[in-house]
Amino acid sequence: MEHIVIIGNGISGVTAARHIRKLSDKQITIVSAETDYFFSRTALMYVYMGHMKFEHTQPYENWFWEKNRINLKKGYVKHIETKGKMLHFSDGGTLQYDKLIIATGSKPNKFGWPGQDLDGVMGMYHKQDLENLEIYAPNNKVCKRAVIVGGGLIGIELAEMLNSRNIPVTFLVREDSFWNGVLPEGESAMINRHIKNHHIDLRLGSNLKEIISDENGKAKSVIIQETGEEIACGVVGLTAGVSPNIDFIKNSDIETGRGVKVNRFLETNVQDIYAIGDCAEQHEGINGRRPVEAVWYTGRMMGETVAQTICGNRIQYNPGHWFNSAKFLDIEYQTYGWVFANPRENEAHFHWKHTDDTKCITVCYDTSTNTFLGINTFGIRMRHDIFDKWLTEGRDVNYVIEHLAEANFDPEFYKAYEADIYSAFKNELQTV
Amino acid sequence: MSNKLNHSMSLAKPDAVDISNKQKVALAIGILGLFILALALFNTNFPNKGLFLTLSLGFIVIGTIIYSRDAYLTKLEGIKNDGVWFKSISSRGIWGWILGVILTAFYIVLYFYPQYLGLGKDGAENTGLISLFDPLSNLLSGRNASQWFVYGTLYTVAILAFGYKFILKYRHNRYQQLRTVSVMFFQLGFAFLIPEFMYVMNSDLPYYDLKSVWPLNYYIFDEWSVKAFLSNGNIGLGFLLFGIISIFVITPILTYKYGKRWYCSWVCGCGGLAETAGDSFRQLSSKKMSAWKLERWLIHTVLVFSVVMTVAMIYTYLGYDHNNFWLTKGLFISLVVGFLTLIFVGVMYFKRRELGKDAKYGAIGYFVVIALLVIMHFTGTSENVFFIKGSDLRSAYGIYIGSIFSGVIGTGFYPILGSRAWCRFGCPMAAILGFQQRLFSKFRITTNGGQCISCGNCSNSCEMGIDVRAYAQKGENIVRSSCVGCGICSAVCPRGVLKLENDTMEGRINPTEILLGNDVDLMDLVNKK
């Protein structure tokens, strides 16, 4: 019986395993060094905040794996011997495979800052990071202040986590407005204000120069590049993005760039080896997407796709319209289609913001054809399937604004803003 | 890690964030209110009972209000679940167990030893806790308090005070606020005040909480109850008819349109207490598959028991001769069997495919009920049912289901089993509404395409123990008979994935395997069976 080995028990690897099991009777083994069972990485924050316990982040009960004949092996893969189709583990063990799926995900970026490997310095990605945070920042007596470096999605989550335990946070953001490489100006500015309303010390346009150690090799303060200011702290969170977790592959004959290079079929340059999820890098981005996409759902979709290929139905990875979501403290964010921070050529943005400063939308459209290209929505939930349909149909922006109520996904009895948005849109068109 | 001794008395792990000084004062005020009740329980004879009762209940309410305001209004609007699993009381820690034992003990005394609460037997004066409530009872209905009046008052106070807390906690969410105002209204008006006023107007009428529907108020068709209704002319007959219409007409229509939430989360008193005072314990319900299996057997067994028990009770006091009363034993049994058969055949005809494997269990349940009724008819005399005295069957149901299950376990075990253990495992009303919700209702929880990140907040906060995430991460609508539509899963979702909706029946149940966002051809391929 063919043996499929999957390195990594995250959403990509586990989805691949589940779908291979559905489609076939092959022998399946998932290897992980991080945890015994699959858990939702995105939920780690809620464990620290006390909303959930760690076991609640596991989407499947422990009996699920044996029942579905998916072997789980705990171990750290040190080397892939592609000729002999053999994995070598750090403890000296080996594992034979017929087909291999690499789904090792990401690791936090470190940019060579002095002191970046001190105790009390951590990313917020692995379960081990959470355990470290529990040691160095269990409460505001042990950790009197935390410094977070990097203003992205993980950074703001870490800020929310520390805030929940009343630990003061200084948040260093390189850009002059939060996440403005992705968010248009109005949205980014609204989030800046929201962060400050939560009493988080947001420092825009600030870079980390170095982390200073105490006598025990533990971080005690950071120095800011621009001002030279020293900020005493118990914990430093490095959240300046992630990159593919593929160091152990670098010395094999599997081709890598930033990630493991794959074609549209998610095949690497070596026969019978595939890569999916955060660690995979497309030769070229698909439909405007980036070559490496560290997003929960793309990992899942690649898992679904590669399972088909491995089970005899060779199929291309073909993601649909871009979408994503996040939550910035109390403000939910969703995006459908493409809305860039700055409108590209022949594009324009329509921006509407509610006076309470917690809700806004930005609609992007083509100025020559009026085609709707995408929407960012903050504090108002919208329907994925409606926007997916409108994007596929190439709807006109006027149509979208007029029918926005159809896409509303807020709970019942919530105040609706479509009429406001509609009149703001009409007004803006008249003044232009 | 620090070697410093931990001097805090916190039983939380890790330390829950300290409460503010204002919250400590609020707690002290609330405990003072409870302390007055405790003193009364141990037979302190207060000089001015009306004053001390007012002080006691006032302190409890004021303490809760001050605490809630400081806990929620000092922060921005949003989800407020920080530290829920750290606090001893809400994570089955030592305080949780202590509270569970106290509540359970209270329920046992309430149901089985009311004399310890000070109930005066055979016309004797009340003493202790119950006598403390005499002034209020006299004010409302001109009679002394009973243990049920004490319980009803405390129950109502709990729903009102914690309802206020809940409204503040979800002050960004109008669905939560409205349904909480609704349960507060129904508890105060329908369950507490109106029955007292009804007594004032006509003291022969049995206690009737108009919002309570059979089989939840399993006693409504008891002989004494029916006789009391019938001997009270048109108004009594009206109430009895309303009781029958409630279950056979009003309930099905509302459940069809809105799902069972119209009752369980907007009207019901058991649900009302669970959603307000029990809110801190909602996360404790088990989401295991094994718990779900147990739930299905248990709740449907209770339903069968309550149907058979009620039919048997009515049966025993009906006559054989239609000259005495048009409804005879034989006719009644025929009507019941006919009605159940109609439902069974209808469901099998229209919904056979949706039910799948469950059809078998449904059939077993149906035949068990019919067999029991037929056996009853051919073995029964006017007194005995299944060779057991009919009234014994009724009191067995009253003790084991009405008292022990719904009260002692259902509420006493809040801090252990979560806030809806009764609603989930025992309530026969929930079983009927759930059956209808699963098969004939426009209600569902819609999932939003491919946005789910499997975080588990939804499952964690489901008081009914539904593994919401299992559906959401597949992009599948949630159509579960147990769902009471509280809407908290939707509220806590960080990605805006869940929405409670009433929409057409078509496409309501959509078991898909590939989520929106992927290659359309692949989606078709994988969903092809």
Using a CB-CB cut-off of 8 Å, the residues of chain A touching B520 are: 320
Based on the fold, state whether residues B366 and B501 are members of the same structural domain.
no
State the span(s) of chain A assigned CATH 3.50.50.60: 3-107+243-310, 121-240
Q: Indicate the residue of A53, A330, A334 with minimum beta-carbon distance to B78.
A: A330
**CATH at residue B466:** 3.30.70.20
Residue A77 predicted with pLDDT over 70: yes
Q: What is the mean pLDDT of residues B203-224?
A: 81
Cα-based torsion angle of the residue sequence A172, A178, A181, A187 in order, rounded to the nearest 10 degrees = 180
Give me chain B's average pLDDT, please. 87
**A267 contacts A303 by C-beta, under 8 angstroms:** no
- Does A384 contact B450 at a Cβ distance shorter than 8 Å? yes
Question: Is the Cα torsion angle A397, A402, A406, A408 positive or negative in sign?
Answer: positive
Rounded to whole angstroms, what are the CA distances from A432 to A370, A421, A428, A429? 14, 17, 6, 5
Evaluate whether residue B157 is within a structural domain. yes
Q: Domain boundary at B377, B406, B428, which?
A: B428
pLDDT score of B523:
67
Paired residues of A81 in beta bridges: A86
Residue B12: pLDDT over 60: no
Q: Give the sign of the dihedral formed by CA B428, CA B433, CA B435, CA B438.
A: negative
Helix (H) or strand (E) holding A73: strand A70-74
Q: Look at residue B227 in the predicted model and tell me its pLDDT.
A: 84
Tell me which residue of A286, A284, A257, A260 sits closest to A273, measured CA to CA. Answer: A260
- pLDDT 10s digits, A382-399: 999 999 999 999 999 999
How many whole angstroms separate alpha carbon B482 and alpha carbon A73? 37
Sort out which chain B residues have CB atoms less than 8 A from A305's CB and list them: 518-519, 522
Domain of residue B166: give its range. 1-75+113-201
- A193 in helix, strand or coil? helix
Q: HEC profile for B202-219?
A: CCCCCCCCCCCCCCCCHH
| Cβ neighbours of residue A215 closer than 8 Å, sequence gap 6 or more | none
- pLDDT reported for residue B323: 66
Cβ neighbourhood burial of B74 (10 Å; 0-12, 13-18, 19+): exposed
Proportion of chain A above pLDDT 70, given as a percent? 99
Q: What is the pLDDT averaged over residues A33-43?
A: 96
Please report where in the chains the tokens 């800020």 appear, as a residue: A159
The answer to whether position B483 is within a domain reads yes
A380: nearest CA partner in chain B: B496
Say if residue B506's pLDDT is above 60: yes
Tell me if B342 is assigned to some domain: yes
Specify the residue for token string 């009752």: B263
* Beta carbons of A151 and A179 less than 8 angstroms apart: yes
Clarify whether residues B184 and B312 are in a common domain.
no
CA atoms within 13 A on the CB side of A215: 0
Is pLDDT above 60 for B4? Answer: no
Residue A359 pLDDT > 90: yes
pLDDT score at B7? 43
**Cα A402 to Cα A421: distance, rounded to the nearest angstrom:** 9
Residue B232, pLDDT above cutoff 60: yes
* B456 vs A50, A52, A321: nearest CB: A52
What is the gyration radius of the CA atoms in chain B, in angstroms? 25
Cβ–Cβ contact B459 with A under 8 A: yes
Separation CA A22–CA B526 (nearest Å): 10
**Does the pLDDT value for residue A316 go beyond 80?**
yes
Residues B387 and A128: their CA atoms lie apart, in Å, by: 65
List the one residue out of B442, B490, B448 whose CA is nearest residue B466. B490
Q: Per the CATH hierarchy, to which homologous superfamily does domain A323-431 belong?
A: FAD/NAD-linked reductase, C-terminal dimerisation domain (3.30.390.30)
What's the 3-state SS for B129-196? HHHHCHHHHHHHHCCCCCHHHHHHHHHHHHHHHHHHHHHHHCCCCHHHHHHHHHHHHHHHHHHHHHHH
Distance from CA of A321 to the nearest CA of B (A): 6
Q: What is the mean pLDDT of residues A2-24?
A: 97
Q: C-alpha B123: how far from its chain's center?
A: 33
| A57 contact residues in B (CB cutoff 8 A) | 455-456
pLDDT value of residue B427: 92
Residue B437: pLDDT over 50: yes
Q: Is residue B270 part of a domain?
A: no
Task: Tell whether B408 and B447 lie within a shared domain.
Answer: no
Boundary-marking domain end, from B390, B405, B428: B428
- Residue B8: predicted pLDDT: 44
Same domain assignment for residues B190 and B296: no
Q: Are residues B168 and B37 in the same domain?
A: yes
- Residue B233 in domain: no
- The pLDDT value recorded for residue B2 is 40
Cα A282–Cα A287–Cα A288 angle in degrees, nearest 5: 85
Q: Is A303:A14 a contact under the CB 8 Å cutoff? A: yes
Q: Measured between CB atoms, does B13 come within 8 Å of chain A? A: no
Q: How many CB atoms lie within 10 A of CB B390?
A: 23
Weakest-pLDDT range from A96-110, B217-231, B370-384, B418-432: B370-384
* Burial of B337 per CB tally in 10 Å (0-12, 13-18, 19+): middle
First to last CA, chain B: 55
Residues B339 and B410 in one domain: yes
Q: Does B513 touch chain A (CB under 8 A)?
A: yes
Helix axis angle, B289-317 to B428-439, nearest 10°: 110
Q: What would the DSSP string read from start to end of B350-385?
A: HHHHHHTTHHHHHHHHHHHHHHHHHHHHHH--SSEE
Residues A192-239 have pLDDT tens digits of 999 999 999 999 999 999 999 999 999 999 999 999 999 999 999 999
d(CA A354, CA A421): 9
In Å, how far is B4's CA from the nearest CA of chain A?
A: 10
Out of A296, A332, A414, name the one closest to residue B453 (CB).
A296
What pLDDT is attached to residue B44? 84
Query: Chain B: nearest CA to A414, how far in angstroms?
Result: 6
Quote the CA–CA distance of A155 and A150 in Å, as a whole number.
Answer: 6
| Each residue's pLDDT tens digit, A369-382 | 999 999 999 999 99
Nearest Cα neighbor of A208 from A164, A261, A256, A148 is A148
Top-level class of domain A3-107+243-310:
alpha beta
A308/B518 Cβ within 8 A: no
Alpha carbons B168 and B65: distance in angstroms, whole number: 10
Q: Which of A266-275, B331-340, B491-500, B508-517 has the lowest mean pLDDT?
A: B508-517
Each residue of B3-37: b (16+ CB within 10 Å) or e?
Answer: eeeeeeeebbeebbbeeeeebeebeebbeebeebb
Using an 8 Å Cβ cutoff, are B477 and B468 in contact? no
Rounded to an integer, the average pLDDT of A100-126 is 96
Using one digit for the tens of pLDDT, what is the confidence trace for B128-167? Answer: 999 999 999 999 998 899 999 999 999 999 999 999 999 9
State the Cα angle at A423 between A420 and A425, rounded to 5°.
Answer: 105
Are residues B415 and B447 both part of a single domain? Answer: no
Same-domain check for residues B118 and B27: yes
Of the listed ranges A111-120, B109-118, B375-384, the least confidently predicted one is: B375-384
Where is average pLDDT lowest: A122-136, B310-324, B488-502? B310-324
Q: What is the pLDDT of residues B337-347, one digit of tens each?
A: 899 999 888 88
Chain B hits for A313, CB-CB cut-off 8 Å, are 525
User: Do residues A133 and A124 lie in contact, with contact meaning Cβ atoms separated by under 8 Å?
Assistant: yes
Q: What phi-psi label fits residue B142: left (phi over 0), alpha (psi between -120 and 50 degrees) or beta? A: left
* C-alpha of A60 from chain center: 21
Distance from CA of A383 to the nearest CA of B (A): 6
User: A-B interface: how many C-beta pairs under 8 angstroms?
Assistant: 181
Q: Is residue B418 domain-shared with residue B514, that is, in the same domain?
A: no
| ipTM confidence score | 0.95
Q: Is the pLDDT of residue B55 over 50?
A: yes
Return d(Cα A354, Cα B35) in angstroms, integer: 48
Q: Is B38 within the bounds of a domain?
A: yes
Are B44 and B169 in a shared domain?
yes
Q: Measured between beta carbons, which residues in chain A are less than 8 angstroms from residue B179?
A: none
Does position A249 have pLDDT exceeding 50, yes or no? yes
Residue B1: predicted pLDDT: 37
Give every CB contact of residue A370 below 8 A, 6+ residues apart in sequence: A396, A397, A398
Q: Tell me if B242 is assigned to some domain.
A: no
pLDDT > 60? residue B250: yes
pLDDT reading at B293 higher than 70: yes
As given in the structure block, the two tokens for residue A175 are 């850009």
Look at residue B345 and tell me if it is in a domain. Answer: yes
Residues B473 and B332 in one domain: no
pLDDT at B6: 41
| Residue that terminates a domain, selected from B201, B236, B258 | B201
Mean pLDDT of chain A: 96
Number of domains present in the structure of chain B: 3
What are the phi and psi torsion angles at B515 (to 5°)?
-90, 160
User: Residue B175 and residue A412: Cβ atoms within 8 Å?
Assistant: yes
Please determine, for residue B452, whether its predicted confidence score (pLDDT) is greater than 80: yes
Between A53-62, A66-75, A282-291, B507-516, the lowest mean confidence (pLDDT) is in: B507-516
pLDDT band at B220 (very low <50, low <70, confident <90, very high): confident
- The answer to whether the bond into B215 is cis (omega within 30° of 0) is yes
Instruction: Give the confidence band of B5 by pLDDT, cuts at 50, 70, 90.
Output: very low
Q: Where are the beta strands (DSSP E) in B369-450?
A: 384-385, 388-389, 443-447
The verdict on B312 and B401 lying in the same domain is yes
φ, ψ of residue B394 to 5 degrees: the values are -65, -40
The helix (run of H) or strand (run of E) holding residue A372 is strand A372-378
Q: Name, in order, each residue with C-beta under 8 angstroms of B174's C-beta and a sequence gap of 6 or more.
A: A411, A412, A413, A414, A415
Would you give the DSSP letter of residue A100? E
What's the CATH number of domain A121-240, 1.25.10.10, 3.30.300.30, 3.40.50.720, 3.50.50.60? 3.50.50.60
Residues in CB range of A131: below 8 A, 6 or more apart: none
With an 8 Å Cβ cutoff, are B85 and A320 in contact?
Answer: no
How many CB atoms sit inside 10 A of residue B243's CB?
A: 21
